Structure formats: C-alpha cells, structure tokens
Structure 1
Amino acid sequence: MNTDVQKKFESYPEHIRPKLEHLRQLILDVAASDKSIGELEETLKWGEPAYLTTKTKSGTTIRIDWKPKHPEQYVMYVNCQTMLIDTYRSLFPELTCEGDRAVVFDINQALPENEVQVCISMALKYHLTKNN
C-alpha cells in the first residue's frame, strides 16, 4: 500500500477501517485471481483509495470510501460513464446502488462477498467485455 493510501486508511474511524480494508482485499484478490486483469495500481483519486488496471488497461477504476456525512455506509464507486451500475442492479437487485456510479454498503450488515466479487471483476475487466 502506498503511503498516501495508507494515511487515508488510517484516517478512517476505527470501526470503519476494517470494513474498507476488507473491501480493498476483495479488490486485490479478484485482480490476483485473473491474469487478464493483472497487477493493480493503488492510489488516491479525488482523495479516495482507487484501484486501476494501469498495466493491462483491462478495466475501469474502482474507488472506495466512507464519508462522515453518511456515517452508516461505505461505498464502492465505478466510472459513471459505464453501464456497470445498471448491470449490477439487474444481476443483484439486493444491492443498494446510487445513481450510475456507486454501490452502497451498510456498516451494520455483512458485505455480500460473492455479489461484490462479481461486481469487482466486471469493473476490472470492463474494457475487455464492454463490446461483447
């Protein structure tokens, strides 16, 4: 983890940090399990931890964050110019999606790991599959 991202994680409240660390690890695990995704670049975009397929250019950026304005939720963002959120809604109606860019998770509920892993994979392979 680069130092800027590490500082960002350290800035989250203690009860939120493990939730975001878990989501981060899912992103890294999905990427590591699929050679077409390749190694991710971890950085900050708009002050939020971001995961990019810089080497393979296989997918779109995923960002994750928690905001004090909405203390009971944390969020996974994808590019709003994609159809990913519409696809997530149709595949997983149980997920809470916001607009055309975010999947929102309640801090008091377990992360739906299987569904989120599929969503992560779709984002990280978006450029490989968007025309199929």
Structure 2
Amino acid sequence: MAIEVLSGHVQSDGVAAAFASIPEESRAGLLKLRALILDTAQRLEQPVEETLRWGQPSYIAPKGSALRIWTHKAARFALFVHCQTRLMEEHRTAFPGMDRIDGNRAILFDTTDEIDPDRHGMLIARALTYKQTR
C-alpha cells in the first residue's frame, strides 16, 4: 500500500483518495484543518489515528472524541465533532457568535481564512483530550 506524506504525517491511500475526490476550493480548507488537527495532537503528545469514517477523513485519539473534516451542504467545508458530546456547546459558550455552527456537530467554513488556529485549535485540543478531562 502506497502512502503520501502531507504536513510531515503519513497518509493512507484511502484518506489521500478522499481528499483527491473533492473540489480544490474545499480541499485547501480541509488540508489546513488536517494540519491543525495533526499539529495540535503532536503538541499535546496525543497519538492520533487518521482513518476514514463514512468516507470522510477522521481523527481519533485514544483519550479523545473523534473529529471529522469534510464538505457540508451549507458551506465549502466543516470541522465535525461527535454530536453527543458537549464540545460544540462549550465552544459556542467560549466564543459566542464567532463561528457559523451547525447544531451540536460542526463549524462551517467557506474560506481557509476563516480558520483561526487559536480558537479552532482549542476545540481540537479539547476533542483530542475529551475522555481524560470529563
């Protein structure tokens, strides 16, 4: 099985194919979110598995809650959290009115400029450590 390296991390054929299957305007944002997830995991020294769930790139840490990134019907791309966690509620409370949020499951983006490494990095860090901090 061939692998591709992006942002210094190994990517499986399946994940690479998923990214390759979407339009460039969405792909650029998803790759920026991917880099933020993987960099945050590295900073936290949290192992993270990159895999496909429902055909979408997913990031799973042993002591965390799954994150997914993909396109969205109301935006070019989105960062998804598990809808049965308090992650989106906590994010909405910490940063009221700063993001377009789809219920309790996703932050919506249309451009890469909307990704804030600090604000969205906090949500990612919280998801990657969710089970150890509840």
Superposition TM-score tier, normalisation by shorter sequence: 0.7 to 0.9
Unaligned runs of 5+ in 2: 1-10
1:42 aligns with 2:50: yes
After TM superposition, the score normalised by the length of structure 2 is 0.86
1:59 aligns with 2:64: yes
**Higher helix proportion (structure 1 or 2):** 2
Partner of 1:119: 123
| Equivalent in 12, 18, 21 of residue 8 of structure 1 | 18
CA contact (8 A) 2:29 2:112 kept: no
Equivalent residue letter for 1:59: G
The alpha carbon displacement at 1:110 in A equals 2.9
Unaligned runs of 5+ in 1: none
Q: Which runs of 4+ in 1 moved over 6 A?
A: none
The count of residues paired between Structure 1 and Structure 2 equals 123
Equivalent residue letter for 2:78: V
| Equivalent in 76, 96, 99 of residue 95 of structure 1 | 99
The alpha carbon displacement at 1:16 in A equals 1.8
After TM superposition, the score normalised by the length of structure 1 is 0.87
**Higher strand proportion (structure 1 or 2):** 2
Alpha-carbon RMSD: 1.4
Partner of 2:108: 104
Q: Percent sequence identity over matched residues?
A: 36
The alpha carbon displacement at 1:73 in A equals 2.7
Partner of 1:26: 36
Distance 1:108 1:41 in 2: 24
